Structure 1
Amino acid sequence: MQTTILICDDDPIVHESLRLYLTKEGMRLRSAFNGEDGLNIVKKEKPDLVLADVMMPQMTGLELCREIRKFSQVPIMMLTARGEEIDRILGLELGADDYIVKPFSPRELIARIKAVLRRTENHNQTETDSDATDSKKNKLINIGSLHLDLDRYTADYAGTPIEFTKKELDLLSFLCLHPNETFTREKLLEKVWGYEFGGQTRTVDTHIKQIRRKLSEFKVLFNLMTVHGIGYRIDMDKELQQ
């Protein structure tokens, strides 16, 4: 079936320029010029991916992301003309899968869209594959009182829920499953986000920052370390490794 991309942006030029590039990739586009219309299209038509501008009339992209996450895990990429860190943090914390600042390279955007779609397809295939018993072993991660459930995408510490976004939980679980191993930001983008990208890697830093903030009130039995000039790793005692 043809992939459907919903563009939510109040700028007609953005719609036309993206339509030019994305239709060449064989994708079907739907357009909304405000957040409310975008939300209605998501509910009725269930697109494969949503591109949402942060600043829109009637309902902002951040509000749209929050509303969509109440009923759907459709991949969401945030678009914005602003580069403030607060926008990135809010978008990612509300459940956006990625964040790109205007003006952006169409080639970079297409690469990200394809990677998100591949990751979603692979995840769905794994869930429906009856022979994927080995992967199911890593669906539950228990480290002391910290419990990560990748089947339900929930987390808790000794019964107290921790509200991670899907991508935060993906990143944390990946590092937990590879304890004491250092990963560059580029490698984490490839392994967790599903694409190779040699440009801006602040997305990884933003997610790490949010994970640390949410874990800070709990006595987790590992350290989420910054390896300066390289990337990140989780330091964990061998007896705690799953």
Structure 2
Amino acid sequence: MLLVEDDEVIRDSAQAVLVRYGYHVSTAPDGLTGLEMFREEHPDLLLLDVMLPDLDGIGLCRRVRETSLVPILMMSARGDGLDVVSGLEAGADDYIVKPVESAVLVARIRALLRRARFPPQTPHTGEAGRPGSADAGGVLTFGDVELDPGALEVRRAGQTVDLTPTELRLLLEFAANPGLVLERRVLLRNVWEHAWDGDSRVVDLHVQRLRAKIGAEHIETVRGFGYKLRR
């Protein structure tokens, strides 16, 4: 993985912890160096601080998302607003607030890597032509969206839709429960693997990104509860 952090003490200590857990970790002290190293090394995960010199973590995240769906975990010294929302809107999969316990950091990284490496279970299929149902080839359809769980591919109006692993798991969770309201805490547990009450902004921002890619009409907000895939 690639760790981009300008604070030398935090950078070295985080690297030492992750190496102790068996990870190979490259480090960069600023955003531009991080971008160059990302293009050269193609890491399997990015761990980015928000406040970076030259190119900040938000800008770096956007640049990476132009060409890659690699899992991205943002680190912020502030967990109460702009940093969190900006990072998620830029394409980060999750965020964590500094200072963070080593065990929590490793747990978040493991969850991200699992989502990227192991495909979700295929949603339940029923009658053909209904949301969450499959044709003979196992493709799920709802409106103009086609979801192939076996190939992990999504198409809208015949055009391929590029989803991050987290967005794909979120869509599959909806497709497995068509018409049912899914609470944010349920989505946090099933998609992000948060064993504790996480920040619902993670869910809300990912739903927003998913809607932008597959069409807002497919996912309905149920105020005070959560979201559901429209039948």
TM range (shorter): 0.7 to 0.9
- In structure 2, what is the Cα distance between the partners aligned to 1:201 and 1:84? 10
Match of 2:206 in 1: 207
- In structure 2, what is the Cα distance between the partners aligned to 1:23 and 1:145? 45
- In structure 2, what is the Cα distance between the partners aligned to 1:99 and 1:123? 22
Match of 2:191 in 1: 192
Residue of 60, 64, 68 corresponding to 1:68: 64
1:56 alignment partner, SS class: coil
1:28 alignment partner, SS class: coil
Native 8 Å contact 1:81 1:103 kept in 2: yes
Residue of 6, 23, 33 corresponding to 2:29: 33
Name the amino acid aligned to 2:196: G
Determine whether 1:9 maps to 2:9. Answer: no
Match of 1:105 in 2: 101
Native 8 Å contact 1:186 1:197 kept in 2: no
- In structure 2, what is the Cα distance between the partners aligned to 1:69 and 1:235? 28
Name the amino acid aligned to 2:143: G
Match of 1:167 in 2: 166
Native 8 Å contact 2:2 2:45 kept in 1: yes
- In structure 2, what is the Cα distance between the partners aligned to 1:74 and 1:83? 23
Match of 1:129 in 2: none
Shift of 1:45: 1.5
- In structure 1, what is the Cα distance between the partners aligned to 2:155 and 2:16? 41
- In structure 1, what is the Cα distance between the partners aligned to 2:82 and 2:57? 14
Residue of 117, 121, 124 corresponding to 1:121: 117
- In structure 2, what is the Cα distance between the partners aligned to 1:54 and 1:219? 29
Q: Can you list the C-alpha shifts for 1:49-94, whole angstroms capped at 9, x where unaligned?
A: 1101111111111111112122222211111112343333332232
Match of 1:18 in 2: 14
Native 8 Å contact 1:155 1:164 kept in 2: no
Normalised by the length of structure 2, the TM-score is 0.75
Please, which moves more after superposition, 141-150 or 10-19? 141-150
- In structure 2, what is the Cα distance between the partners aligned to 1:162 and 1:225? 22
- In structure 2, what is the Cα distance between the partners aligned to 1:99 and 1:43? 22
Please, which moves more after superposition, 101-110 or 51-60? 101-110
- In structure 1, what is the Cα distance between the partners aligned to 2:36 and 2:187? 34
- In structure 1, what is the Cα distance between the partners aligned to 2:216 and 2:115? 32
Shift of 1:111: 0.4
Shift of 1:31: 0.9
2:118 alignment partner, SS class: helix
Match of 2:128 in 1: none
Q: Which 4+ residue blocks in structure 1 deviate beyond 6 angstroms?
A: 159-164
From the superposition, tell whether residues 231 and 207 of structure 1 become closer, same or farther in structure 2 (CA, over 3 Å).
same
Native 8 Å contact 2:145 2:154 kept in 1: no
Unaligned 5+ segments in structure 2 are 123-133
Match of 2:126 in 1: none
Normalised by the length of structure 1, the TM-score is 0.72
Determine whether 1:233 maps to 2:228. Answer: yes
Shift of 1:160: 9.2
Native 8 Å contact 1:78 1:98 kept in 2: yes
Native 8 Å contact 2:71 2:165 kept in 1: no
From the superposition, tell whether residues 165 and 226 of structure 1 become closer, same or farther in structure 2 (CA, over 3 Å).
farther
* RMSD across aligned positions (CA): 3.4
- In structure 2, what is the Cα distance between the partners aligned to 1:137 and 1:93? 34
Name the amino acid aligned to 1:192: V
2:197 alignment partner, SS class: coil
